Structure 1
Amino acid sequence: MAHLEEVSPVLNKTITSETVNNLTTADCNFTSEGFTIFKTIACILIFAIGIILNSLAFWVYFCHIPNTNAIIFYLKNLVIADSLLVLSLPIKILKDNRPSANLNKAYCSFIACIFYLNMYSSVFFLAYIAATRYLKIVRPLRNYAFRNLKTAKRLSLGTWSILLLLAILFAILINKDNKPKLSNSPICLRDGVGQRAIYFFAHTAGLVMFFVVLAGICYCYLQISTQLHLLPSSPSLKKQTKAKNNILILLVVFFICFVPYHIIKLPYILSQTELISDCYWQRVLYYAKESSLLLSTLNACFDPVIYFLFCKAFRSKLGLDKRALEPNEISVPANASQVMLD
């Protein structure tokens, strides 16, 4: 769901500390040149690293690794989401540094939708990977449809379709008024009770959805950790530790990239709908939201670590795992413990 860039403000007058709290919401929409430079440098670095890593991942997954199981298919969808997110960054950089009515219109109508659509699709695909690992390790001898490749394809198509539909609908509704919220600043959120209501309920629903997904990933990790701890010590102990660490790394990436943004999101929503009208706190929440959004974007650089950890064929193609199976090679586990850890 698209979370549009509501504040890209310009204020052409000096403001003292005594007048900050007396400013109206319209007057309070501004940012510092130093912060804009910081965001620009950060986005350029993320774009440069992300485009290299995701181009490599795209080449390996789509040119050399067939769809042999659900996790590989989810990882391929994650590559697509990350690649599109990275490709949306140049327009965001231009919008922050060279604001114009046409560029802002293009960003609000299209680019912001792509950016947030792919951010939330990444959230879902990371959750699907965690759930698949949970079923494989905690319930290895049961045949769940969720682990099937056919189900993974249907679930992925459904995820993309629903998120795309919601993003388009949100963009149409939030931009239906031709009058911008500020006359001297190109922004996406429009004036009007209707637009504010749509904005508030849409993003509140997204916030609830995110924390439900987060709770599910935490549950999967705890169950996997408990199950691996109960396995008898054996030559597979190294595999047990590796399986536990892999899902822990996924959880850490999830926390670093997405949790800060969604903690800031609710008070930021309140400030944009003027339920928080104090200028000082609006500015603080704006800076916090933009900073946490950079962390969310950084996910496009962290996900290649997950590709490396969760796919033997990926490591093998890069020449980093000589013992990895070829994509079409099938292993036959000797017991349930081996099924869990393969």
Structure 2
Amino acid sequence: MNSTMEDELQPQLVYALVFGFILVLGLPLNAVSLWILLRRHSLKSPSAVFMVNLAISDLLLVISLPMRVYFYATGTWPLGATACACITVLFYSNIRSSTIFITTICVDRLLAVVYPLRSRHLRTSSNAWKAAALVWLFVVVVSIPWSVKLTRFLRGNNESTCFAFIRRDPNRSSMAYFQFVLVFTMLVVNIVCTALVSWTLRTHLSDSARVSNK
């Protein structure tokens, strides 16, 4: 019995240490990044708009970590089902939004480097804000139904175990599958965009070198 409890506590302590490390580094770094972006950079460029939204998304993700650290360190949850569901949804929602904003930054770089003339009418700050608003709307629309179902599930079961009990949520498998598909799709887009940008830059640099030599 004691060995079983020790086996359950060890992964929880690892989670507490990992999330605590991310919290200690992520909170000040993302706050400073957001402050620099807002104070030093103009929000008139689409790149700056997407970077600000990425910093906000990462900051919201980090804000959801303190109670996770507390839970995994103590094994108890004192705040009830609604708070547990809200923090869980905040955590996963901002993983999605961060992933999407990283991809939008990559696509923006692709348009700027590979199609600089044809994308001038697309790469505007107003379009960037519209795209950011659509990302947040998508995240909210996906998150609200899951948060309602998760709250009902926790209230009908043992809410004091919070994140440990969420693993038994019947809706968790479908959300995990959706998360995997989303992240995999964004990864493919990022790889393709990065490859095209790198190829374009190498081509232009080699052409410039040949012109200089001539």
TM-score by length of 2: 0.83
The answer to whether 1:82 aligns with 2:58 is: yes
How far 1:128 moved relative to its partner?
0.4
**Percent of paired sites with the same residue:** 21
Equivalent of residue 207 in structure 1, options 176, 180, 191: 180
The answer to whether 1:189 aligns with 2:166 is: yes
Name the residue aligned to 1:38. Answer: 14
Name the residue aligned to 1:135. Answer: 111
Separation of aligned partners in 1, 2:126 and 2:43: 10
Separation of aligned partners in 2, 1:190 and 1:127: 29
The answer to whether 1:225 aligns with 2:202 is: no
Q: 2:103·2:189 contact (CA, 8 Å) conserved in 1?
A: yes
Separation of aligned partners in 2, 1:91 and 1:185: 13
SS of alignment partner, residue 221 of structure 1: helix
How far 1:125 moved relative to its partner?
0.5
What residue identity is the alignment partner of 1:66?
S
Name the residue aligned to 2:212. Answer: none
Separation of aligned partners in 2, 1:174 and 1:55: 30
What residue identity is the alignment partner of 1:125?
F
Structure 1 118/145 Cα, relative in aligned 2: closer, same or farther at 3 Å?
A: farther
What residue identity is the alignment partner of 2:177?
T
Q: 1:92·1:107 contact (CA, 8 Å) conserved in 2?
A: no
How far 1:122 moved relative to its partner?
0.7
Q: Is there any run of 5+ residues in structure 1 with no aligned partner, and where?
A: 1-11, 16-28, 237-342
Q: 2:12·2:72 contact (CA, 8 Å) conserved in 1?
A: yes
Structure 1 202/50 Cα, relative in aligned 2: closer, same or farther at 3 Å?
A: closer
SS of alignment partner, residue 78 of structure 2: helix
Q: 1:62·1:76 contact (CA, 8 Å) conserved in 2?
A: yes
Name the residue aligned to 1:108. Answer: 84
The 5 Å alignment of 1:1-342 reads: 14-15=3-4, 31-103=7-79, 105-143=81-119, 145-177=121-153, 178-180=155-157, 185-186=161-162, 187-189=164-166, 196=170, 198-233=171-206
What residue identity is the alignment partner of 2:156?
K
> Which structure shows the higher helix fraction?
2
Q: 1:175·1:190 contact (CA, 8 Å) conserved in 2?
A: no
Q: Report the aligned-residue RMSD.
A: 2.8
Q: Is there any run of 5+ residues in structure 2 with no aligned partner, and where?
A: 210-214
Name the residue aligned to 1:330. Answer: none
Separation of aligned partners in 1, 2:66 and 2:184: 30
SS of alignment partner, residue 114 of structure 1: helix
Q: 2:17·2:69 contact (CA, 8 Å) conserved in 1?
A: no
Q: How many residues align?
A: 208
Q: Deviations over 1:142-184 (max 9, x none)?
A: 135542211110111111122022112101123323332x699
Separation of aligned partners in 1, 2:100 and 2:192: 15
Q: 1:175·1:189 contact (CA, 8 Å) conserved in 2?
A: no
Separation of aligned partners in 1, 2:49 and 2:159: 46
Structure 1 101/156 Cα, relative in aligned 2: closer, same or farther at 3 Å?
A: same
Q: 2:45·2:124 contact (CA, 8 Å) conserved in 1?
A: yes
Structure 1 207/38 Cα, relative in aligned 2: closer, same or farther at 3 Å?
A: closer
Separation of aligned partners in 1, 2:7 and 2:56: 32
What residue identity is the alignment partner of 2:137?
S
Structure 1 232/91 Cα, relative in aligned 2: closer, same or farther at 3 Å?
A: closer
Structure 1 36/199 Cα, relative in aligned 2: closer, same or farther at 3 Å?
A: closer
